[in-house]
Every structure is written in structure tokens, then in C-alpha cells.
Amino acid sequence: MPIVALVGNKGGAGKTTLCVNLATALSALAPTIVLDADPQRSSLQWRDLAERDDAVRVIDAVDDVRSAAQAAASTYEYLIIDCPPSVHAVQTAEVLAICQLALVPVQPSPLDVWATVHIEEKVEEARRVNPCLRAVLVINQLEPRTLLSQQMRQGLAELSLPVAQTAVRRRMAYRSSALEGRTVMDLGVRGSEATHEIRQLIEEVVRA
């Protein structure tokens, strides 16, 4: 029962969008559920917009994420947890103590890179009680033609956490689908490139 956490230390990194897209792609492979541990409850809002029975299930885990994970463990193969946009939040500490994999979306921005330094520290703390914890940085909203994006991997190389080779590009498909309670998998040809990179990310870091 892999538990995968989406962890961030600032808002606007695209954490929830990545969360629901990963969960939806994984649900095609095995039973998958999203635990929303973020007090903003963005994943729950996405699920409410969906208004579809076949959309991946999202449950509120803000008050007790550990109990929510235990309750879901017997039914679901993959538990994807949407954490608060702060490594200092109680929920984030609880999740890092129980998850096998923490994915950290990082935008091509100096502020995002600096915020990631604190995530490194919290991951090291969590490994004292959860020594099997893996943490991987995921470049999110990449724009390959910009100089800042081109320099992103060089900047992240100075951190101790590994960086996924698969980057998630800045695409309208992610934004337009999220606004409708859908994912890029629902867009057919319009979402095909985004769908490919989500599936590629899963094969590289989640199912590796």
C-alpha cells in the first residue's frame, strides 16, 4: 500500500493539480484515493466540481490524517495525500512520518527553490521515525524556452534531494481541466502530452 504525499512549503506550486492528476492516472492501474490533509481543502473542492461517480475519491483528512490512512489501507492500493503548503503544519509532519514517498513540486522560481531548503530539513527529521521515506523534487510548470527554466536543474542540484528526470510543463490543459473538476486524462487529444508526462512521472518515481 504505497502512501504518496504531495508536499510544499509555499502556495501556488501546483501541488493539488499534480495530486489529482497523479491519483487519477494511478486509479487506472489500481484502487486509488486522495486524502486531503490541507486545511484549504483544494482537493475536496476539485472533487465537488467533478460531479461524476467515476472521479477518484477524495476524503477529508485534515483533522486526523493517520486515522484516515489506516481506514483506507484495506480498500485502496495507492493513498495520495495532499499536504498543506507549509512544512511547519502539523498535518505535514504527520504525513512525512507515515508515507513512503514525498513528491515536492518546485516551480522555476528562486522563491520556490529557497522554500525547498526547509523541506529538506523536515524530511531529514521525519527519517528518524520513518527511515524508508523517499523524497523527490518534481519540476513543475516548466517553460523550456525560458532561461530560468533552463537553469532550474543546475539550481536544484545544490540541494540534497534528488530531482525527477520527468518535468511537468506549464500547459493550459492542467488549468482548464482543474477548473471543471476534471484531469488531463479527460481531455483526449488536447491533454495527450500532459497525460504522457504524468504517466511517465508515475513510472519513474511512484512505481519504480
Give the CATH number, domain containing residue 122: 3.40.50.300
The CA distances from residue 23 to 80, 92, 116, 166, in Å, are: 6, 19, 23, 17
Confidence of residue 95 (pLDDT cuts 50, 70, 90): very high
Confidence of residue 40 (pLDDT cuts 50, 70, 90): very high
Total domains present in the chain: 1
Burial 145-168 (b: 16+ CB within 10 A, else e): eeeebeebeebbeebebebbebbb
Return all residues near 106 (Cβ < 8 A) that are at least 6 apart. 13, 112, 113, 116, 137, 138, 139, 140, 152, 156
pLDDT score of 107: 85
pLDDT score of 148: 67
pTM for this prediction: 0.93
pLDDT score of 48: 92
pLDDT score of 159: 79
202 or 119: which leads in pLDDT: 202
Which segments of 11-144 are extended strands (E)?
32-36, 57-60, 78-82, 101-106, 134-142
- Residue-averaged pLDDT of the chain: 91
Residue 103 belongs to domain spanning: 3-206
Instruction: Quickly list H helices, 73-109.
Output: 90-96
pLDDT score of 113: 75
On the question of pLDDT at 115 being above 80, the answer is no
pLDDT score of 149: 63
Could you tell me what percent of the chain has a pLDDT over 70? 98
